[in-house]
Amino acid sequence: MSILQEILAFLGGVATPDAWLDEALRQQEILLLDHRNLEYKAAQTALSLMGRYLTKTELTARMSRLAREELVHFEQVSKIIRGRGIEVRHVSASRYAAGLRALLRGGEVERLVDVLVVGAFIEARSCERFAALVPRLDAELAKFYAGLLESEGRHYRGYLKLAYLYGDAADVDTRIEVVRAVERELITTPDEQFRFHSGVPIENSREAAI
């Protein structure tokens, strides 16, 4: 099974809706600006996990590498934005990460398992979206996103590996099902905002995004 097939299976077979892809082509500036924010947040999440679990050496080793890699992505997408003369401005966060983080349980071990499972879903969805976008984008962006989708595939596997390393396998399996159901909702239901991880665009999403 290829990494993309593995990821689509992990995502419950829910591919990015065509309506989102059409909107992404219409709103490339928002796509890039939100993507830039997401790379920063990916690095920040990795660093905060390190800080919280500094004695877990497998986690700190992976998160340290991840944070550096996400910051390189941040610099790469920033360069593309600058090269295209796009004004860097504030773009609010989508409902996606907040919707997934609302699932985090309170106990110490439970919370770690959930953060890692949610991390795996965010990376998996990013990989799936980059792959779906590549054939539709201009050469520069297609090349950049084709490279990123490989990284996100690795990041997805890394988060999942850590979840099974530190959590009970049956609990991790159950939490994957819980997060998968909510992730499916966030991707397949109407969303008034267009963002990298938004749901199905509704008619006024272009105005709402500005």
Applying CB under 5 A, the residues found at the interface with Fe ion are 39, 42, 70, 73, 123, 152, 155
**Cβ at position 38, least distance to Fe ion in Å:** 7
Which of 6/192 has CB closer to Fe ion? 6
Closest to Fe ion by CB, 152 vs 191, is 152
Rank residues 153 and 167 by Cβ distance to Fe ion and give the closer one.
Answer: 153
Going from the C-alpha of 107 to that of each of 62, 104, 110, 115, the distances in angstroms are 23, 9, 5, 12
Angle (CA) 187-131-206 rounded to 5° is 50
CB of 155 to Fe ion, least distance (A): 4
DSSP letter for each residue of 31-72:
HHHHHHHHHHHHHHHHHHHHHHTTT-HHHHHHHHHHHHHHHH
Closest contact distance (angstroms) between CB of 37 and Fe ion is 11
Q: Which is nearer to Fe ion, 70 or 128 (CB)?
A: 70
> CB under 8 Å to 105, separation ≥6 — which residues?
111, 114
Our CB check for Fe ion shows the closer of 40 and 110 to be 40
The two structure tokens encoding residue 164: 């099974």
Give min distance, CB of 73 to Fe ion, in A: 4
Is residue 17 within 8 Å of 128, Cβ to Cβ?
Answer: no
Query: Minimal distance in Å, beta carbon 181 to Fe ion?
Result: 23
